[in-house]
Structure 1
Amino acid sequence: MLRSMFSGISGMKGFQTQLDTVGNNIANVNTSGYKKGRTTFQDMMSQTVAGASAPTDIRGGINAQQVGLGSQVGSIDNIHTQGNRQTTDRTLDLALEGDGMFIFATGIDDDNFDLADANLEYSRAGNMYLDQEGYIVNSNGQYLVGSQEGTEEGQGERIQIPENAASFSIQGNGVVNYIDENGDTQEAGQITLANFSNPGGLEKVGSNMYRSSVNDGMQGEDGIPDLIEPESGGVASIVSGSLEMSNVDLAEEFTDMITAQRGFQANTRIITTSDEILQELVNLKR
């Protein structure tokens, strides 16, 4: 069989994957905190027809002769660039301006909890809510991890707004304040962030959430993130009343979609052309 036919098949598979990635990006164009994906390709191992030879006293060197065997998906990257900020004027909508991610936890049942025992996930989506007990949670019911004065290393803190609070606010440095029934300002807690030197190494788990991997470069030890206060330690500041939207560029996605479509179409032509050649070989017997 012709090698070009199998090369065409490999190209079709790669462009199918690229179209899957583009389709997912377009589907999430309005998803808060979504980070777009990108597919890259690399060539497969080539078949060496003749090896290279070094020059001699009477003849120059000869390059190797190799026939490529197609392409394959090299990587599917998560591009963690800053998304546009959308103003909502809702206090519990939080956008991050800069690096870092919100930390969310489940599997805890007390005010001071061990980060090593909690199920931790990370996100840039800042649409927060208050549960029945006044704790700040996300749309999945996961607790927003914070800290308070005296919180020990390796420990986290849930942030609770008392029932009798007249109002509350969230500062750029993550401090959550509320007005008590006497009209005095009290501090409910401090929102903390996690930072990653390689956020592209995080693994998507759905629902706008990521989990840590062995290649994300998380600041911390033994899989436990350092709780970094916003506006310090090289992490973002918090903008209350805003949401970070998806970083998907529709014009770019449509261009990639057209490129993938034409690439897929061209590879199908390779297969049909190879089939016509095989048909001609079969007809020689006639």
Structure 2
Amino acid sequence: MLRSMYSGISGMKVNQTKLDVIGNNIANVGTTSFKVSRVRFQDMLSQSAGKASGPALNTGGVNPKQVGLGVKLAGIDTVVYQGMMQPTSRNLDVAVDGEGYFMVAKGPRTFDNTSLVVDANHELSGSSNLSIMYTRDGSFILDTEGNLLTSDGYRVLGYSVSGNGMKPTGSGAGAASAVSSSIDASGNIIFVDADSVSGTASNLKANDGLKTLRIPEKIFVGSGTGSGAIQKRIISFSIEKDGLIKGVVEGGQVAVLGQIAMASFKNPAGLEKLGGNLYLNSANSGNAVVRSGIGTDPTKDNSKGYGDMLQGMLEMSNVDLAEQFTDMIVASRAFQASGKMISTGDEILQDIINLKR
């Protein structure tokens, strides 16, 4: 049979795959934080019809004579550049402006920082029953317990933040000599006052491990749930650029409820897509490098290498429709041309058969 027919078949196969990828890109033009994919081709093995020879006494060199045997798929790449920011005015929507992924988990909730510890290399260590995934989709929701979740119910991970001996400015039964915003084993948050969580505060410190973040309806103002604690309702909350979640309680005081964690990868294009805007690290993406929490020793702090979290915004898809439609035209014409090559080969075979009447 003619080699050109099989080359045409290979061309139809790879261009069909390219059209599949383009169709998926166009379908996800409105998907939050979607990253566009592209297809790359490479030629297949070539059959040698003549070897190359060097210059001789009476003649010059001769190039090799090779016949290509078609095309094959070289790879399908994920293009991870940032999409456009879309304002939503929703306080649970968070976009990442720059490098980084949110860390979400499926499994038993945890209010402590002992199972998922961030080591000196900013990688997770320890044992945990949580299945950790990554996303740039910051369209979060809350459940009835106040757990911060993705739209599919996966729990958002972060740090608890301690006040390191700070005192509330008020006095009375609710005042404490040393306070912290960590969530205890019962899920109770201990109070930190407004003066202690200003943008220039240097005495806030994140714990070394990750936990389930929670924005409850009420918190205990004081040193815990004892006789000196007063339960107050959270009337609003905000998410800072560094991921700090601050809740405003009755009376205008502010409590630090935690800090949203972020991760980055040596090769983010190597992440495996799980669907639902979720990714899983693969053998080629490398392990997740976790962003340092607030109050980390400056010699070990890597937070400057990550993007800002923007509340009330979402990152949109990075699909360029003009580019996709152009690629679709090229791929469809290449598919038609490959099909025409097969029909042309068929006509040639028919002529050969008709030589014998």
Corresponding residue number in structure 2 for 1:223: none
Give the partner amino acid of 1:175: L
Which residue among 315, 318, 323 is the counterpart of 1:244? 315
Give, in angstroms, the shift of residue 161 of structure 1: 1.1
* TM-score for the superposition, normalised by structure 1: 0.94
Corresponding residue number in structure 2 for 1:142: 154
Output the CA distance in 2 between the equivalents of 1:10 and 1:177: 58
Give the partner amino acid of 1:281: I
Give, in angstroms, the shift of residue 152 of structure 1: 5.2
Give the partner amino acid of 1:47: Q
Give, in angstroms, the shift of residue 110 of structure 1: 2.0
Asked if 1:162 corresponds to 2:233, the answer is no
Mapping 1:65-144, distance limit 5 Å: 65-112=65-112, 114-115=115-116, 116-117=127-128, 118-144=130-156
Per mean C-alpha deviation after superposition, the further-off stretch among 155-164 and 171-180 is: 155-164
Per mean C-alpha deviation after superposition, the further-off stretch among 131-140 and 231-240 is: 231-240
Contact 2:291–2:306 (CA under 8 A) maintained in structure 1: no
Corresponding residue number in structure 1 for 2:277: 208
SS of the residue corresponding to residue 90 of structure 2 reads coil
Output the CA distance in 1 between the equivalents of 2:27 and 2:293: 33
Give, in angstroms, the shift of residue 219 of structure 1: 4.5
Please tell me the root mean square deviation across aligned C-alpha atoms, in Å: 1.6
SS of the residue corresponding to residue 306 of structure 2 reads coil
Corresponding residue number in structure 2 for 1:257: 328
The aligned length equals 280
Output the CA distance in 2 between the equivalents of 1:136 and 1:262: 48
Aligned identity (percent) is 46
Contact 2:244–2:258 (CA under 8 A) maintained in structure 1: yes
Q: 1:227 to 1:234 in 2, by over 3 A?
A: closer
Deviation string 1:145-195 (CA, Å, 9 cap, x unpaired) is 101236654x31111112121111111110000012343100000011001
Give, in angstroms, the shift of residue 238 of structure 1: 0.5
SS of the residue corresponding to residue 160 of structure 1 reads coil
Asked if 1:185 corresponds to 2:239, the answer is no
Output the CA distance in 2 between the equivalents of 1:212 and 1:53: 49
Give, in angstroms, the shift of residue 217 of structure 1: 3.5
5+ residue gaps in structure 2?
A: 117-126, 163-205, 219-233, 295-301
SS of the residue corresponding to residue 239 of structure 1 reads strand
Contact 1:194–1:218 (CA under 8 A) maintained in structure 2: no
Per mean C-alpha deviation after superposition, the further-off stretch among 124-133 and 105-114 is: 105-114
Give, in angstroms, the shift of residue 87 of structure 1: 0.5
SS of the residue corresponding to residue 338 of structure 2 reads helix
